[in-house]
Amino acid sequence: MNYDEMLVYLNAKGISNSEILIIDEFFSDNNLTADDLKDITNNIELKSLVQKATFQKLKDYDEDLLKKLYEYNDKHGIKVITYNDEIYPVSLKLIENSPAVLYYMGSFNEETIKIAIVGARNHTEYGAYVTEKFASDLCELGVEIVSGMAYGIDSIAHKTALKYGARTTCVLGTGVDICYPSKNRKIYEEVREKGLIVSEFPPTSGPMPYRFPLRNRIISGLSDGVIVVEAKDRSGSLITARVGAEQGKEVFAVPGNINSVYSEGTNKLIRDGAIIALEVGDIVENIYKLQEACLDKKNKKMRTELGEDELIVYDLIVKGKNDVDSIVQNTNFSVSQVSGILTVLEIKGVIMEESMGRFMSK
């Protein structure tokens, strides 16, 4: 069992993500055994940090669990990654309680700007109209729509994205193999082929109430901004807005009738500082921030893929120290070392030669 398999094993055992992150702190070896998992239950410090039930799950090692899980995934077209994988979304690495494990169908796309559109399950005609209007206008701008595939506003947002041929991501509060609600089967199957269906919960995980608030941090975490269309005072979409704000995302809210229960939540969001969304132009006014976020996301991803020496040279090039002699003078590297690093950076596509012996970042 390697390190990533350990994370998947803990997730498949039903251990919560927050406890997986705690347990993760006690491991450093990339080659783990069943005894390693059992032995850690003797750690006094860990005992004070996780539940007793979690210790029992660690002691009750299931040697066939991973084999069965991977066979099930292969049969149903499910892929699994951990936060150590190259394709793991950079934006999720930056949030609190980052999901250690993600199961998905479809594909990730780090290049697009993403906006979450969320709201009430029970909505008004006005809410449906506004959702379709915002989603269609955003899709025309090349924005990817993220939502939770619930009834109501979520479903309308996904349907509109598919209608306009845009990418959309469904973040589920179940396993990715479970279409919930079942009436959204058509959306589910089309997104699986053209976009992304993703969940932190292992396959066969059913629609337990506690799972849906947990997935909301992933909806906002994947997104550069969150729009709440309609929401009652205690709507789950307000959790997405709150968590999104805590994550530093732009939060937009559509105002509504002050006498309508379906607008209580959105009107309060505006009162508390959310950006009023009357038309897509209100979002476009803030799009430069989203574009900066997108560029920042690409930069963070690029930096995770460079070695320590490569980063040193890359940063010097960005600062204008962009020829071999300047780099040698500002580092402890030899000429041959710098030449080799520059070649690697060119191959990785992060720099290019602009003139004889001078380089620039892409």
- Lowest mean per-residue pLDDT among 46-55, 181-190, 312-321: 46-55
Tokens 């120290």 appear where?
Answer: 321
**Mean pLDDT of the region 199-218:** 96
Please state, in angstroms and rounded to a whole number, the distance separating the CA atoms of residues 297 and 303.
10
Q: Where does the pLDDT of residue 235 fall: very low under 50, low under 70, confident under 90, or very high at 90 and above?
A: confident
Name the range with the highest mean pLDDT among 173-182, 228-237, 319-328: 173-182
Please state, in angstroms and rounded to a whole number, the distance separating the CA atoms of residues 256 and 126.
9
- pLDDT for residue 290: 61
* Residues in Cβ contact with 173 at an 8 Å cutoff, skipping those fewer than 6 apart: 148, 180, 199, 201, 207, 208, 211, 212, 214, 215
Q: Which of 90, 131, 136, 63 is nearest to 300 (CA)?
A: 90
Rg for the chain, CA atoms, rounded: 23
- pLDDT for residue 32: 66
Q: Where does the pLDDT of residue 107 fall: very low under 50, low under 70, confident under 90, or very high at 90 and above?
A: very high
Q: Choose between 42 and 209: higher pLDDT.
A: 209
Per-residue pLDDT of 40-98, as tens digits, reads 777 778 877 888 888 888 888 888 999 999 999 999 999 999 998 989 999 999 999 99
Torsion angle defined by CA atoms of residues 291, 295, 301 and 306, in that order, rounded to the nearest 10 degrees: 180
CA 319 → CA 271, 305, 324, 346, 361, distances in Å?
43, 20, 14, 17, 10
Q: Tell me whether strands 358-361 and 351-355 are parallel, antiparallel or unpaired.
A: antiparallel
Please state, in angstroms and rounded to a whole number, the distance separating the CA atoms of residues 239 and 217.
8
Q: Where does the pLDDT of residue 286 fall: very low under 50, low under 70, confident under 90, or very high at 90 and above?
A: confident
Q: Choose between 45 and 209: higher pLDDT.
A: 209
- pLDDT for residue 172: 98
Alpha carbons within 13 A on the beta-carbon side of 349:
5
Q: Which of 254, 236, 228, 232 is nearest to 115 (CA)?
A: 228
- pLDDT for residue 112: 87
Domains and CATH numbers, the chain: 3-75 (no CATH), 106-288 (3.40.50.450), 306-361 (1.10.10.10)
Please state, in angstroms and rounded to a whole number, the distance separating the CA atoms of residues 344 and 338.
10
Q: Is the pLDDT of residue 294 over 60?
A: no
Q: Is the pLDDT of residue 288 over 90?
A: no
